[in-house]
Chains A and B, each alone.
Chain A
Amino acid sequence: MGDLMGPRLYSCYKCRNHVALHDHIVSKAFQSKNGRAFLFSHAMNVFSGPKEERQLMTGLHVVADVHCADCREVLGWKYEKAYEDSQKYKEGKVVLEKYKIVKENW
């Protein structure tokens, strides 16, 4: 590993808008409809859609779709509320799908 210039960033695959830092990854073991996804403690330059209840693999949750702020592409979802105690740690964190984000400069 050589000298890394600057923080390791992830960007929206469409418009290369910086959305998350590699250092903010909490877990890489998430699954979305279309493949693998990462759980980030928070994301930037994104906005949330309306809240809705969804039945996910780990149970019922209140989630909101997360969109890129520039091109409005859906990148993943944000956990607003988890009904089971074991899932409470996810509240407020953002899941971004792996195929919707690209590594920026690393």
Chain B
Amino acid sequence: MSQADVSYSCGSCGYALNLTSSSRVTSSIGSRYNKSINKDPSTSIFQLSDDCLYFIFQRLDSSLDRESFGLTCHRWLHIQNSSRRSLQFQCSFTQLSVPSLSQPSMNVNSFHLYKLLNRFQQLHSLSLSGCTELQDSCLSMLITYGSKLQSLHLECCFRITDHGLSFIANGCPFLTVVSLYRCNITDTGLSTLTKSCSSIKDVNLSYCLHISDHGITALSKNCRHLRAIRISHCRNVNGLGFQGCSQSLIYLEADSCKLEPEGITAIVSGGGLEYLNISNLRWCIRGHGFGVIDSQFIARLKVIDFRLCRTIDDEAVVKIARGCPLLEEWNLALCHEIRIGGWRSIGSNCGNLKQLHVNRCQNLCDQGLVALRDGCRRLRKLYLGRCRQIGWTTIEMFKCLRSDVQIVNEEVMCIAPDWSFQL
């Protein structure tokens, strides 16, 4: 305590120090400090209610700001946690982040999942894709914490089986998007899942090798809002399970399956299909099955992928060219059985066709290309690589008379539109 009657000076320079409050010169205090010492303490930010704070938190753009928000106090941390809507791990392929590829991957186990689901209880989208060691028992947490989940990605979760699906069925009744790519599931698991989660819209069952038509029947019967399905490489599916599916089905990707002709009829039976991919169709001795289809079921098709379908011949092409007036993109690469009749039909009927792929078609001759040139008024891109029968002159004449069409040499493997499976 400094004494009032003693004068103090600095030890090194002898400057007289003003240490007593009575000798304080208040006139030189800054005006800002004056205002703050007169301030009313009841209008600090801590008085704001929770919904105001949620509103503020939504406006924060950078993750740094959001982290700082959460570090303020427990209440603010709770606001940050319950505002999180989507969660994915570094190993996920749904939203690829390139910097994460070079870091060593963490093995996600049930403890991690428990901590995360406990912390973020308002998740709408959860991606566990890439978590190859994840067990079925880890999914049991979804029963307690997954009730608001709408989108669940389990790509490459090789250890997930029907048991895990039963947990999902119990815990996530509002599921709309689910991906089970390369999971070890069977028809029973799929039935259980579709019975409870009847609002499933997009489902990815590619490479689920044990799925057969029984599972697909359950799916089309129980999920009447089904919009998009991928069953690529499901070799036990022959297509009959799709009979009676809802008209909401617009997107079907079934490449490298062993679809039968009756299966093709069943697939289009909903009448609403807009994207159909049956590329790499296994050869069936009974043909393709397009001859007996009623045209009203295929009328809405916009994008068709028949790449490497050896059974597709003129009969199928004529049927589709006449029956699909809205067709915009058609992949007929490596369809060797299409001959002049088919090409002429495409030329005269496909008025809306914008992109056509005819790479490596062994029976596309000069006359066929002339037929395409004289028709298809809306054509913008023609993928014409390595067609051995086409002469150089024919191509030059094409470029001359149809300068609005771009001729491309490359072969495009995937022409799927991005109408579905959006996060």
Contacts and interface: CB of A to CB of B under 8 A. Distances in A.
B310 interface: yes
A71 B308 contact: yes
Nearest to A45: B362
B191 interface: no
A14 B280 CA distance: 9
Given A71-B280, A71-B308, 8 more contacts: A14-B283, A15-B280, A15-B310, A15-B334, A16-B310, A17-B310, A70-B308, A70-B334
A70 B280 CA distance: 10
Contact of A14 (B282, B336, B360): B282
Nearest to A71: B308
Interface of B: 280, 282-283, 308, 310, 334, 336, 360
A16 B360 CA distance: 15
A17 B362 CA distance: 10
Interface of A: 14-17, 70-71
Closest 10 CB pairs of A and B: A16-B310, A16-B283, A70-B334, A15-B310, A15-B308, A71-B308, A70-B308, A71-B280, A15-B283, A70-B360
A16 B308 CA distance: 10
Contacts of A17: 310, 336
A15 B393 CA distance: 31
B411 to A, nearest CB: 11
Nearest to A70: B334
Contacts of A16: 283, 310
Nearest to A102: B283
A70 B310 CA distance: 10
Contacts of B334: 15, 70
A43 to B, nearest CB: 16
Contacts of B336: 17
A9 to B, nearest CB: 13
Contacts of A15: 280, 283, 308, 310, 334
A16 B334 CA distance: 11
A71 B282 CA distance: 11
Nearest to B333: A70
Nearest to B281: A15
A15 B308 CA distance: 7
A71 B283 CA distance: 13
A47 to B, nearest CB: 12
A85 B234 CA distance: 48
A70 to B, nearest CB: 5
B139 to A, nearest CB: 37
A14 B308 CA distance: 10
B313 to A, nearest CB: 12
A72 to B, nearest CB: 10
A71 B334 CA distance: 9
A28 B361 CA distance: 32
Contacts of A14: 282-283
Contacts of B283: 14-16
A73 to B, nearest CB: 11
A17 B308 CA distance: 10
Nearest to B337: A16
A14 to B, nearest CB: 7
A83 B336 CA distance: 40
Contacts of B282: 14
